[in-house]
Amino acid sequence: MSTFQSQLSTTKIPVQKLTSNLFNDIEVDVLRVDTLHNIVSGNKWFKLKYYIEDCLQKQQNTLATYGGAFSNHIVATAFACKKMGLKSIGIIRGEATKFLSHTLQEASNYGMELHFVNRTLFKEKASIKQRFDNNIYWVHDGGYGTKGMQGAADMLQLLNAEKYTHIMAACGTGTMLAGLVSAGKPHQKVIGISVFKNNNSLDNDINKLLHSINCTKQFTVLHNYHFGGYAKHPQNLITWMNELYRKEKLPSDIVYTSKLFYAVKDLCSSNYFKVDDKVLIIHSGGLQGNLSLPQHTLCF
């Protein structure tokens, strides 16, 4: 095991109890996976680790994956590959711009080779692969796939999760949610908050992963907390992020977790939960996405 892997596997992940009046006296805890690492933050390492392990076992020296200009997965993959002695390639959705986003600049600094493709071609994964050497190990967007799901399932081993009636997480590709569903207990309801607008295939994508391991457990995805779409952050969301931090000392990001925490607050205030329910929120990290905001926009 590398020093990098060893550090991540031995890091103790805190569970933060939310105590302010924001959550209507419902018992809500947060698994602070965002504290795992400052770059391979939150769920990223969990979704990547079995792919990287498989890549190394197959003696392939280059790992390629896909993402957008603000993808936490892209920068996490670049850093993890560098630490594990692998070359990395990022297939980036959209045309190249004169100035790279902070995320892509960071990925480039970690040695990732960036290739930009238009949004139509980005969907044609087979055509993209034909442009590259056959000995490259490919990972889908966001770590989507059985190995990503299995890694995400490991997060529930970080604490005694049986006492919770509900487990909640933000959803992009649905990989993490599928892992949580597969690892959850029969009495637990797993709820995903979609951060994409009109992400109509998300439920099916999650079911495909679950069916691949013959898992028939039920889950719920809520689609009305996207605040306008992926990475959209209107002023009322920024206001909420600042309020959440002032009252709970809990940082969130504009893409995923701010929308997740808002959804939990809204569900608590609308009596979605019973008084004796116990809710666990997975803080999936990704705070580097806030670096695209003007300075002093956030109070943390």
257-269 and 235-248 are packed helices; what angle lies between their axes, rounded to 10 degrees? 80
Is the per-residue pLDDT at 288 higher than 90? no
User: What's the length of the chain?
Assistant: 300
Looking only at the bridges linking them, the beta strands covering 15-17 and 27-31 are: antiparallel
Which of 197, 201, 200, 158 has its CA nearest to residue 179?
Answer: 158
b or e along 194-226 (b: 16 or more beta carbons within 10 Å of the residue's beta carbon)?
A: bbbeebeebbebbbebbeeeeeeeebebbbebb
pTM of the model: 0.95
Per-residue confidence band for 124, with pLDDT thresholds at 50, 70 and 90 = very high
Per-residue confidence band for 258, with pLDDT thresholds at 50, 70 and 90 = very high
CATH class of 44-143: alpha beta
Start and end residues for every CATH 3.40.50.1100 domain found in the chain: 3-38+155-292, 44-143
Q: How many CB atoms lie within 10 A of CB 102?
A: 16
CATH number of 3-38+155-292: 3.40.50.1100
User: pLDDT at position 292, please?
Assistant: 85
More confident residue, 57 or 69: 57
Angle at 38 between CA 148 and CA 61, to 5 degrees: 50
Share of the chain above pLDDT 90, in %: 91
Average pLDDT, the chain: 96
User: pLDDT at position 276, please?
Assistant: 97
